[in-house]
Amino acid sequence: PESQTPFLVQAAVQLDPTAKSSTSHQNRNHYHCAHLQLRTLRPSTARDTGQEKTIFTATTPAHHCRPPPNASIGPWVLPLNPNGKPEKCLRFTHLPNASLLNDTQGATEPCLNGWIYNSTRDTIVTEWDLVCSSNKLKEMAQSIFMAGILIGGPVFGELSDRFGRKPILTWSYLILAASGSGAAFSPSLPVYMIFRFLCGCSISGISLSTVILNVEWVPTSMRAISSTTIGYCYTIGQFILSGLAYVIPQWRWLQLTVSVPFFIFSLLSWWVPESIRWLVLSGKFSKALKTLQRVATFNDKKEEGKKLTIEELKFNLQKDINSAKVKHGLSDLLRVSILRRVTLCLALAWFSTGFAYYSLAMGVEEFGVNIYILQIIFGGVDIPAKFITILSISYVGRRITQGFLLLLAGGAILALIFVSSEMPLVKTALAVFGKGCLSGSFSCLFLYTSELYPTVLRQTGMGVSNVWARVGSMIAPLVKITGEVQPFIPNVIFGTMAILGGSAAFFLLETLNRPLPDTIEDIQDWHQQIKKTKPEPEAEKASQTIPLKTVPDHSAWPIPMAFNDLLKQVGGVGRFQLIQVTLAVVPMLLMASHNTLQNFTAAIPTHHCRPPANANLSKDGGLEAWLPLDKQGRPKSCLRFTSPQWVPPFHNGTEANGTGITESCIDGWVYDNSTFPSTIVTEWNLVCSHRAFRQLAQSLYMVGVLLGAMMFGYLADRLGRRKVLILNYLQTAVSGTCAAYAPNYTVYCIFRLLSGMSLASISINCMTLNMEWMPIHTRAYVGTLVGYVYSLGQFILAGVAYAVPHWRHLQLLVSVPFFVAFIYSWFFIESARWYSSSGRLDLTLKALQRVARINGKQEEGAKLSIEVLQTSLQKELTLGKSQASAMELLRCPTLRRLFLCLSMLWFATSFAYYGLVMDLQGFGVSIYLIQVIFGAVDLPAKFICFLVINSLGRRPAQLTSLLLAGICILVNGVIPKDQTIIRTCLAVLGKGCLAASFNCVFLYTGELYPTMIRLTGMGMGSTMARVGSIVSPLVSMTAEFYPSMPLFIFGAVPVAASAVTTLLPETLGQPLPDTVQDLKSRSRRKQGHLQQELQKQMVPLQASTQEKNGL
């Protein structure tokens, strides 16, 4: 039949992106793998090392004038600048005598005899003296290279649409190989610039042809992955560039090393097949047929390929062929209204991305960090950035991703304006974040642009768009010059343009799950269809959820448990859920305050011994006479001299500072109260020999959290969630308030232990009570909301601690609000799920009817009765009569496996988390600032975690967050201590991953355990987390043996735990289990579903066999 004919092409090669259905082989055939590797991995990696190697081949080392041949190097020859260093571009015209030593008023002249460079690298700057008056020639060389990329875009784009993708790709490889090698042997700067211009032209042709060939050969579902692969090749190229530049310090050899491989790529490109789309639309049917049959043979579909004929191709693609007879050019991009809109919006997006990107990427020398290390950081940030980009463009859409990436990048660049130059850590972090967003923007733009333009104009459109990116990259250096007028002007311009580009992206069409347009008519029809079609609210809501469903369709599975249907009947997510969830999570704002409160209430200010009461400081020579100095020249904190030691020559006959007789601080200490006016450390002198008591207070608090998780989790399963939650609010309010009035250290520790017990239960009960009242599809949102509330609490703690520096006032301020929570918690409604599992149908009915009334579903609630509940919840009532105890977690094999795996996850997450967050003073940064940074990193971390758990599942999110956290901590262990920026960035990234892990494990644990033992299971999980938090301070003490040992331990445990995650089942889209039998049934249903899928995949094979037999 005619309707089946188009799919013969797809069956032959399994590559047609426009096909309306696909097979499971699409994502894993041989042709895709080999073809993608040849087109992208190797050439793109090498190409990208060539594109940014100017950072190393044209770096400017420290230099100064070469003295005349008859002079010696010294201050008599070289004038000094205000910093006391030799001037770079001037020298004295004569040799002044000794009376004119360092005379800066003497006559000077340029460096007539050249320069002396302080560098082990050989660059074009040192070879052709591109410094001082010639320093602009260095920028000119890079601008000419960018001009080549600009010109190569439209030229090769037009040629590719005329002559095909493959020949242009092959010629581009050859030109880049020849011109790059020629640049390595350039005898002069002009010749070098000419060859670099040709390199830029060919790189533009390679970029365009590679992306277009990938898009036109790859199915719709794989285009995002293919595009991201190209982006990752660029990232890998940056790592390779750093390594090659470090190993090869001579610029000519480096230039040659990154150019010669393209000779090999030009030979390999002859194997790459031409685009079928282009061949068909160009009327070359015989070549198109041969190419299809060749690919079919490579994909083990030789028989299907033989069935294809030219007549078949012409018949099925008649519309496209007729449209392609009309020749199209650049004018069509502005003549057609929809193409004009696309072109203008994409031009702004491309321009702003290239404009802002190269302002950051080509300015690595300005950071004052080793350029090799910074190049690795700038490359490393692309890995998470592009991974997040592929998740977003695959599930959220291209338009939203593109818009938000540019908005975030612009926001980061604008934020640099308000950061002082004395805060290099913050400035570097913002720059790295902005660069990551712009890298993701480039990855998204390449895919998005190729999907928006029709095949007949795709390469031309890509070329024009690429031109705007290169215009931006050429203008960026000129904009930086405006910094000489006002330092903030460049960042204002760069940030504003990025925000404008992000805004323009929202005016483009969404291409997610759309087939590629082939003709101008296709994109016009698409646009008209969007304008005319206005989906109903329910249909629109359903369509928005489709991209997030990447797991098997569970609609074919057995009917879910009855309780979820009861929740829908009484309103689903209604007014009651919104009110109760809000009221329950508000107190969690202060949980972060209590958990990390001792960073401020137990901070250790600078201190030293108090001199004896009878000391006369004015007579003895000042305070310094009583205080020995440490190796850094600062007064020691725990020792003082037994008698005053005067300054040299020590008239009292004693020895020099540090060698006199010392004693402990028997008269107490003097504290620097400028930052912390009052802490428990200053009040009870928890320093020197008593410093362990400070950690003991935090450990006792964590012991309380441990005990509370165990005890209150058990009580909540016995007495109900609401009653225990009310008791916890009261206990936290009373014990926290009493701690603020503690008369001594012992009483303070007792009340902190009680606070820990109640706070552990609040977190567990809040999560469980909310989750048991929410339908299946909203549980991930609730879990993420709770996580964000905790993160917001960290910001609140930093602000409150800054405003209220006195520890007693601060303790009181974060405790009193729990009295308010205690009062309104009486209005909470107990979990109907817990009522039913406890066999209390009458209370279950009352709770459901009350919720229905609040949600405006009173009639639906009235229809419920005990008989209805008995029928619907028969299984829960029968099995819920047997009370489950904590021993069930070990007695039952199914629960035992969950318990052991989840215990490892909880322990590892908390162990590493508190190993990082309880040492804020160790970062050497303002404790308030680092608290804000540690809180801020949770925002993107938990948003990403939400996207992953809601689209890919709980298990991948848990595994990835722990694995990344462990890797960051392990890498930190091998980085030198003086690399503070890198170490802090890795610690912040690791902390963000662990915060996401906490967010996920709370939700995951609640979904894995059945209702009858859910709170007990969560309590045991929280117990293991507290064990980890108690053990982590002890592990920190191993630094006395080897400084990096704690980091190795903190990193190894999360990595090991990530492997354990694979043993747990996935809960995405699954109803909450009420009994152990539900868990077993879920496992059996999953196995049965997999068997059904396997049988379905076998059907086409059987049909194919019947065809061969003539049936």
Listed residue (436, 407, 430, 363) closest to 497, CA to CA: 407
Question: Position of tokens 């117990």?
Answer: 1023
- Token duo for residue 372: 């090799």
Structural class in CATH, domain 329-530 = mainly alpha
Q: Residue 1111: what pLDDT? A: 34
Q: How many helices (H) and strands (E) does the chain have?
A: 52, 8
Output the CA–CA distances (angstroms, integers) from residue 841 to 114, 837, 865, 884, 1078, in the order listed: 94, 9, 9, 19, 20
Degrees to nearest 5, angle at CA 1080 with 1077 and 1082:
110
Question: Position of tokens 């400028």?
Answer: 674
3-state secondary structure of 64: strand
- Beta-carbon contacts of 281 under 8 Å, excluding residues fewer than 6 positions away, are 320, 321, 324, 455, 456, 518
Listed residue (907, 817, 807, 910) closest to 597, CA to CA: 807
- Token duo for residue 1003: 């939700």
Per the CB < 8 A criterion, the answer to whether 755 and 732 are in contact is yes
Bridge partners of residue 343, in order along the sequence? none
Output the CA–CA distances (angstroms, integers) from residue 1027 to 506, 890, 907, in the order listed: 48, 19, 7
The angle that helices 692-719 and 745-772 make with each other, rounded to 10 degrees, is: 40
- Token duo for residue 519: 């003709």
The CA distance from 855 to 1001, in Å, is 30
The CA distance from 560 to 1073, in Å, is 10
Question: Position of tokens 């694979």?
Answer: 1062
Question: Position of tokens 């567990």?
Answer: 764
Helix ranges (H only) for 336-381 are 337-361, 371-380
3-state secondary structure of 890: helix
- Token duo for residue 214: 């990938």
- Token duo for residue 1046: 């704690």
The CA distance from 992 to 1063, in Å, is 24
- Beta-carbon contacts of 269 under 8 Å, excluding residues fewer than 6 positions away, are 38, 166, 169, 170, 173
Backbone angles phi, psi at 775, to 5 degrees: -65, 170
- Beta-carbon contacts of 347 under 8 Å, excluding residues fewer than 6 positions away, are 464, 465, 468
- Token duo for residue 263: 């000779």
pLDDT along the chain (1111 residues), means of 10: 31 36 39 49 49 64 77 60 74 59 60 78 82 75 77 76 82 89 88 88 80 70 62 66 76 86 85 76 76 77 75 67 61 80 89 82 54 59 76 83 91 83 74 85 80 72 72 72 71 88 88 74 75 46 35 35 68 82 84 76 82 67 71 77 61 45 81 81 84 76 77 78 89 92 91 88 78 70 68 75 85 91 88 77 84 83 77 60 64 83 90 75 60 73 80 86 89 77 82 86 83 75 78 71 80 89 83 75 60 50 41 34
The CA distance from 701 to 50, in Å, is 56
The CA distance from 840 to 346, in Å, is 62
Eight-class DSSP state of 555: G
The CA distance from 940 to 995, in Å, is 10
The angle that helices 927-936 and 938-951 make with each other, rounded to 10 degrees, is: 20
Instruction: Please give the single-letter amino acid code of residue 167.
Output: P
A 10 A CB-CB count for 1039 gives 12
Between strands 62-65 and 115-118, the pairing is antiparallel
- Beta-carbon contacts of 743 under 8 Å, excluding residues fewer than 6 positions away, are none
Question: Position of tokens 């072109």?
Answer: 343
Per the CB < 8 A criterion, the answer to whether 138 and 60 are in contact is yes
Give the per-residue SS3 of 286-318: HHHHHHHHHHHHHCCCHHHHHCCCHHHHHHHCH
Q: Residue 408: what pLDDT? A: 92
**Backbone conformation region of residue 283, classed left if phi is above 0, alpha if psi is from -120 to 50, else beta:** left
The CA distance from 570 to 862, in Å, is 10
Rg value, the chain, Cα: 35
Per the CB < 8 A criterion, the answer to whether 793 and 814 are in contact is no
- Beta-carbon contacts of 470 under 8 Å, excluding residues fewer than 6 positions away, are 146, 147, 149, 150, 153, 204, 354
Backbone angles phi, psi at 1108, to 5 degrees: -65, -30
- Token duo for residue 494: 């760069």
The CA distance from 174 to 202, in Å, is 8
Question: Position of tokens 């107990």?
Answer: 830
DSSP H or E segment with residue 608: strand 607-609
- Token duo for residue 247: 């190993």
Specify the CATH architecture of the domain 573-603+672-830. Up-down Bundle (1.20)
Per the CB < 8 A criterion, the answer to whether 497 and 410 are in contact is yes
Specify the CATH architecture of the domain 922-930+947-1074. Up-down Bundle (1.20)
Eight-class DSSP state of 655: -
3-state secondary structure of 734: helix
Listed residue (520, 139, 517) closest to 326, CA to CA: 520
DSSP H or E segment with residue 819: helix 817-824
The CA distance from 508 to 338, in Å, is 10
Backbone angles phi, psi at 72, to 5 degrees: -105, 150
Listed residue (989, 988, 1044, 979) closest to 373, CA to CA: 979
Give the per-residue SS3 of 176-194: HHHHHHHHHCCCCHHHHHH
Per the CB < 8 A criterion, the answer to whether 196 and 148 are in contact is yes
Bridge partners of residue 347, in order along the sequence? none
Is the CA virtual torsion 454, 457, 459, 463 positive or negative?
negative
The CA distance from 178 to 193, in Å, is 14
Instruction: Please give the single-letter amino acid code of residue 808.
Output: R
Helix ranges (H only) for 669-744 are 680-684, 692-719, 721-740
Strands (E), 318-357: none
Bridge partners of residue 109, in order along the sequence? 91
Q: Residue 921: what pLDDT? A: 53
Per the CB < 8 A criterion, the answer to whether 47 and 203 are in contact is yes
Per the CB < 8 A criterion, the answer to whether 872 and 562 are in contact is yes
Output the CA–CA distances (angstroms, integers) from residue 553 to 163, 207, 932, 1093, in the order listed: 45, 38, 42, 11
Question: Position of tokens 């400084």?
Answer: 1043
3-state secondary structure of 912: helix
